[in-house]
Chains A and B, each alone.
Chain A
Amino acid sequence: MPKITFISADDQQYQVEAANGQTAMDAALDNMVPGIDGDCGGVAACGTCHVYADDQWLAKIGSATPGIEQDMLALTDNATACSRLACQITLGDEHDGLILRMPAAQH
């Protein structure tokens, strides 16, 4: 049961407890974290679950996967090399303490 933290663009922190095997998008939705919409239900079609991980965490969770995730992010507003789609990050115990920052808007 990893604890992860979402931080909004205006520095609000939301600590949530995720279930193993859950995606970071689902963990945010389950805990009503504002700023993650997850409109497509996690099939990497909407780009409304955009988050940033710092380099240290990126090394652990990996960069955006080639194919649809990278393609979606390529033209997302404000996307950087640290961008991920939260629905493509599957959580496990090794992610306890993970910090994900959210952009100011998902649209």
Chain B
Amino acid sequence: MRPTCIIIGASHAAAQLAPSLRQEGWEGDIIVIGDEAYVPYHRPPLSKAYLLGEKSADELLIRPQEIYSKHNIVFRLGTRVSAINRAEKTLTLHDGERLSYDKLAICTGARVRKVALPGSELQGVHYLRNIQDVDAIRQHTGEHKRAVIVGGGYIGLETAAVLKKLGMQVTVLEMAPRVLARVTAPEMSAFFQRVHRAEGVIIRTDAVVSGFAGEDRVTAVLCADGSRLPADLVVIGIGVIPNTELAADAGLAVANGITVDELARTSDPDIVAAGDCTSHPSKLYGRIRLESVPNASEQAKTAAATICGKNKPYDALPWFWSDQYDLKLQMAGLNQGYDQVVIRGDRDHSRSFAAFYLKNGQLIAADCVNRPQEFMLSKRLIASATTVDAAKLADDRLELKSFLTT
């Protein structure tokens, strides 16, 4: 009998794990089980080119179905796994069917955090995680219509930028005193607020939403301070929750993500996990759970190697990107614990600058706006734990290459 590897979840992590298994020499069966209707697609464009209508669903696919078939990778789409039975090495599917595995990879990702507020079930109130969500959102877009975005994180701000481009009147409501509060320094938040306001988006911080009004369709968003914002469309983007229930129910170690080691191994030797659903060790930052495509892909490569008995530890530098209007934002590293922010370029008037985060004089993270060179440099300096001269970093006339030799 040929061994079978089953992958649960059919998104970025799976799209890398399955081919990597073949590349690492796995000759057995590969079955990918996903509850969405599509073979893996690029999720980042959902709040960018796809929402804007510049890309079709077909163009989002990471690769066409035939390619997987050619490499004997079988998909079971529209199918949910409801239990992992580790003792007998089987999975139970939502319809009761059972499948045996020899090796298992959990790539269940994350789902949106939902609000439990009056009116949140009304038509026109949406979240944004998959193709279906965006297709539904697009039913409510249109020039001069009013959109309210709940949550000023990256996805909320990207969505605001696109809806504005589509001609809508857009308001962003953020509970914290500033947008992107969880992930960036106040200097970055102030920059994004300036740009969004200049583009005509209304940003209200310290705004607590208390509910949604409307008969069957949403007509307004209600705030705790008593204000009422008319709305034809509401998009809620307040973060995600890792899908760890399957793993936890099966008795695997879980703590803000399925606990894996640097080889993507769970606490069961036959089960690996990769992507948004995992927490993994990082030499630079300790134990972390990331929500990004590079993390899903790189960890998936490690997981595939592990399944094939090889040793390819994962300890890549976290990085992320975001597009809003003409801003290309690239972020490297994680800024938690920084004690100094150094700005290079004109943050107050231009749309091109970088914010470097230092801790004890060492570069630990960078947010780069239309500054690809600074981004690429930061990736290298952070990974090599380099101590940098803050004054030099701030000097925009200094050649970036000079930092690599010092």
Contacts and interface: CB of A to CB of B under 8 A. Distances in A.
Contacts of B373: 71-72, 74-75
B348 to A, nearest CB: 22
Interface size class, chain B = 20 to 34
A68 B321 CA distance: 14
A72 B372 contact: yes
A9 interface: no
A5 B369 CA distance: 35
Which secondary structure dominates chain A's binding surface?
loop
Given A45-B321, A74-B373, A30 B63 contact: yes
A29 B23 contact: no
A25 to B, nearest CB: 11
A81 interface: no
A40 B297 CA distance: 11
A44 B328 CA distance: 10
A41 B44 contact: yes
A37 B297 contact: yes
Contact of B62 (A29, A45, A68, A107): A29
Contacts of A54: none
Nearest to A28: B63
Interface string A69-106: 00110111100000000000000000000000000000
B307 to A, nearest CB: 16
B44 A77 contact: no
B400 A75 contact: yes
Contact of B23 (A30, A32, A76): A32
Interface string B350-377: 0000000000000000000001110011
Contact of A29 (B44, B63, B316, B323): B63
A29 to B, nearest CB: 5
A31 interface: yes
A68 B376 contact: no
A85 to B, nearest CB: 11
Contacts of A44: 372
Interface string A23-63: 00000011110100101110111111000000000000000
B63 A40 contact: no
Contacts of B20: 34
A40 B23 contact: no
Contacts of A76: 376
A34 to B, nearest CB: 5
18 contacts: A30-B64, A30-B67, A32-B22, A34-B20, A37-B294, A40-B321, A41-B42, A41-B45, A43-B323, A43-B328, A44-B372, A45-B321, A45-B323, A46-B319, A71-B372, A72-B376, A74-B400, A75-B376
10 smallest CB-CB distances across A and B, nearest first, come from: A75-B376, A71-B372, A45-B321, A32-B19, A41-B42, A72-B372, A39-B294, A30-B63, A34-B23, A71-B373
Interface of A: 29-32, 34, 37, 39-41, 43-48, 68, 71-72, 74-77, 107
Given A75-B373, A76-B376, 5 more contacts: A31-B67, A32-B71, A45-B328, A74-B400, A75-B404
